[in-house]
Amino acid sequence: MKQAIVTPLASRLAANAVEGHGIVRNPGMALDLGFLESMRSVNRSALERRVATLTKRRSIKADNQAAWLLRSISLMDLTTLNSNDTDERVRRLCAKALNPLRRDLTEALGLGDTVIRPAAVCVYHPFVATAVEAVKGSGIHVAAVSTAFPHGLAPLSTRLAEIEASVADGADEIDVVIPRGLVFGARWQELYDEIKAMRAACGEAHLKVILGTGDLATLRNVTLASMVAMMAGADFIKTSTGKESVNATLPVGLAMVRA
C-alpha cells in the first residue's frame, strides 16, 4: 500500500492560504423567478440524513486536525456586537485578532513564519474607524454590521445611508440583514431590489447578507432567500445575527452550501 506523504503543518497552511484574502466579487444576475420556482421543494428528511453522516465520517486526525483548526481561525470574523461596546473593547478585540495564538502554541506547532489571523473583525458602525486604525497594515479586514442590525426594519434609505457611512469610515466588508417578512410573503422582487441597492451602496466593499435563518422557519425559505441574495450580488451569505433564538445549524448550513 502506498504510504501517505506527510508535509509540515506550516506548509499545508501556506498551500491553502488566500493571498491578501483576495475574493472575486459576485456581479449578480437578473432575478429569475422561474429558477426559484424550480427550487421550491427541499427534501428535508434526505438533507437531515446527510447531515447526520457529517459528524460520523471522514475523521481528521493528528497534524491534519491541527491544520484544519488553524485554518478555521483564518476564516473567522472575530466579533463584538454588544450594547455596551466601547472603543477600548474594540481595540482589545483587534489586539486578539492580531495575535490569536499564544507564542508557546505557535512554537509547539512549528508554524515558523506562517501567520494565523482571523479574516476580519466585525463591529457596529460607530467603531469602524477605531477597528480600521487598530488593524491597519495587517491584512485583517474590517466588517461593519449595517442596515439596522439585527432586525433590518428601518427604512431602506436609512439602511443604505448606514452602509455608505461605514464604507466611508474604512469598512471593506458590510454585513446586512434582510427583513424576514419579505421571505414570509414571498416578495422576492422586493427582496432582490433591496439587496441590489445595498450592493451598490457598498461600492468596492464586499457584501455579506445575513438571512436570519432561525427566523425563516423552513429550509425551503432558507434556500430561496439564499438564491435571491446571490442573484442580487451577495458576495457571502450568512446564517444568522447571533441574536435569534435559533442561529446556525448543520441542516441550514448544508442547504445554503447546496444553494
Distance CA 70, CA 49 (A): 29
- Phi, psi of 160, deg, nearest 5: -65, -40
Give CA–CA dist 166/152, Å, rounded.
16
CATH H-level superfamily of 28-50+120-258: Aldolase class I (3.20.20.70)
Strand partners, 73: none
**Grid coordinates in use for 45?**
428528511
pLDDT for the residue 8? 52
Identify the CA nearest to 174 among candidates 202, 136, 134.
202
- What are the tens digits of pLDDT across the range 201-232? 999 999 999 999 999 989 999 999 999 999 99
pTM, two decimals, is 0.87
d(CA 40, CA 24): 29
5 pLDDT above the threshold of 50: no
Q: Which tops the pLDDT comparison, 24 or 121?
A: 121
C-alpha cell at 105: 502554541
Dihedral-angle region of residue 70 (phi above 0 means left; psi in -120 to 50 means alpha; beta otherwise): alpha
Q: What is the C-alpha end-to-end distance of the chain, expressed in Å?
A: 39
What H or E segment, with its residue span, contains residue 237?
strand 236-238
Cα-trace Rg, the chain:
20
- pLDDT over 70, % of the chain: 91
How do the domains of the chain map onto residue ranges?
A: 28-50+120-258
